[in-house]
Amino acid sequence: MSHPHPELPLPPELPAGGLRVVALGGLGEVGRNMAVLEYDGRLLVIDCGVLFPEDHQPGVDLILPDFEYIADRMDDIEAIVLTHGHEDHIGAVPYLLRRRQDIPIYGSRLTLAFLEAKLKEHRIRPVTRVVAEDDTVRLGVFDLEFVVVNHSIPDALAVAVTTGAGTVLHTGDFKMDQLPLDGRVTDLRAFARLGERGVDLFMVDSTNAEVPGFVTNEIEIGPVLDSVFAQAEKRVVVASFSSHVHRVQQVLHAAHAHGRKVALAGRSMIRNMGIAAELGYLDVPEGVLVDLKRTGDVPDDRLVYMCTGSQGEPMAALSRMANGDHRVTIGHGDTVILASSLIPGNENSVFRVINGLTRLGARVVHSGNAKVHVSGHASAGELLYCYNILRPKNVMPVHGEVRHLVANAALAVRTGVPADRVVLAEDGVVVDLVDGKASVVGAVPCGYVYVDGSSVGEVTENELKDRRTLGEEGFVSVFAVVDTATGKVLAGPQILARGMAEDDAVFAEIHPDVVAALEGAVAGGATDTHQLQQVMRRVIGQWLNRRLRRRPMIVPVVVEA
């Protein structure tokens, strides 16, 4: 197997007739999926999503793919192809379109509807083209064929891209649910046809590659929800992703069966379900929906809230309910259902919300104590079926953390794919398909791009480190006035601390050491205020570490008299 290496060189020029694949996100992480295919000087982008921040990235709203690799080649992009409408596949499109607004975007009807609603908020009018399963599209040097796949959102598509270098099949996110709510099963017949023609590179979803067997059918969630609704004493609150149309459909059916009204809570939930219902992807029983503002007229034992916040997002509806900061107040006898899986990195946030809801007296039902969620990603058994049907010449696992990619690669080898034809890559690693063989040829810079409020890409890792230090260790400011002619400290040092348990008076014992260090530095020839500030920082820092076992942020200020 080919493994990425941190010291991989920049890639050489792409050989004539070769196809280059560069993932700018989604490999080594669950999120910000984006792959760039290059052939004959032209580029094709498959997906363009966001990654949601973890606790060690304070203040960050979103994390984008690093567009720097294609920044000076925007005119070479033939199109953006979207496999489905989840945020980790479409959320970064507005930021890419800021660089060139007229890039054509291809996707299914629901996918583009979700995207267009998002772009409207960014005041971008996109050039969109609706495609469906079995459609074929010629985009310059790229021939595209779309294949229906089943996922946790309707209208998901895999895409086969054919060039002179061969055929690449990108699954997007998929599973093989044999009893889907919308009747759209993953089209294994189309996979078989592609396999007969020859798949030169199979880019395949890895998220559940470690999980043996097959994913449970979505339809089996219905009886579980029905049972929970039957036992609920008062209100029911269900939290899910705002794009999980199938899960909302199950909740609407359960509510209708038990004579309950459903109120949608959360801006994205209201927006997305409105789109899904308008386009016919969501079947809303007559009289079931009620406006959130009118819920006061509905008895508690006849009410269901469908909201966002299943991942513990601080500003989402469920977190605000747990904190008592929402119009919906949770109390004894209420039932809360978290109808989604835990995205890696969100565990602490989700458990914090569960504890808060439990403290308020609610019964909390989640995937750890009831079958209220099934995954949208193929497990090992399903992946093995795909490998055996397709018999791909080369395999490149995508969408997943490193452990998922490695597990998927092992499955490919077990089905007979030669180990040297299974390419393990991470973000930024360059893979070339030349003369029928895929191999790692180099790497391009590919870091995290942080969205923080209105700023995009301005927050650096050093600034995040400062934020973590402020949050974990506190802040100390030191001020002194120094006469650089005589070397005497005329005022200070004045030391103020914030975010620390100790009183400022504790710093009195370090004053003589700071004065001595400053005067000694001036006597040694240091007259620059920056040098003197570093002297103060060093003395204070060493004392804090030795005396208080703390490493706060230290901001020294020296004024020259």
Task: Say how far apart CA 87 and CA 50 lie, in whole Å.
Answer: 6
**373 marked among binding-site residues:** yes
Dist CA 112 CA 118 (whole Å): 10
Residue 489 CB burial class (10 angstroms; 0-12, 13-18, ≥19): buried
Structure tokens at 475: 């802040």
Q: How far apart are CA 471 and CA 465, in angstroms?
A: 10
Among 29, 95, 34, 124, which residue's Cα sits nearest to residue 450? 95
Asked if 349 and 55 touch (Cβ cutoff 8 Å), the reply is yes
Sign of CA dihedral 432, 435, 438, 439: negative
Instruction: Identify residue 166 by its one-letter amino acid code.
Output: G
| 374 annotated to a ligand binding site | yes
Closest by CA position to 232, among listed 219, 251, 245, 218:
251
- State yes or no: 375 annotated in a binding site: yes
Tell me whether residue 376 is annotated as binding: yes
Cα–Cα distance, 65 to 59 (Å, whole number): 18
Measured CA to CA in angstroms, residue 63 lies from 85, 90, 313, 456, 480 at distances of 17, 13, 15, 9, 40
Q: How buried is 506 (Cβ within 10 angstroms: 0-12 exposed, 13-18 middle, 19+ buried)?
A: middle
CB-CB neighbours of 124 under 10 Å = 15
Q: Which helix (H) or strand (E) holds 105?
A: strand 104-107
Kindly give, in sequence order, each residue whose CB lies less than 8 Å from that of residue 512, ignoring residues fewer than 6 positions away: none
Q: Beginning with the edge strand found earlier in the chain, give each strand of the sheet holding 303-307 in spatial order.
A: 261-265, 303-307, 236-239, 335-338, 363-365
361 token code pair: 């007296």
The CA distance from 97 to 93, in Å, is 6
Closest Cα partner for 122 from 87, 91, 81, 145?
91
CB-CB contact of 252 with 240 (8 Å): no
> At residue 542, what are phi and psi to the nearest 5 degrees?
-65, -40
Q: Is 244 annotated as a binding-site member? A: no
The CA-CA-CA angle for residues 88, 383, 391, to 5°, reads 115
Cα–Cα dist 144/132, whole Å: 12
d(CA 495, CA 307): 48
* Angstrom distances, CA of residue 342 to CA of 241, 369, 400: 11, 13, 14
The label of the residue with tokens 């004539």 reads 16
Of how many residues is the chain composed? 561
Which positions make up the binding site?
A: 373-377
Which positions make up the binding site for substrate?
A: 373-377
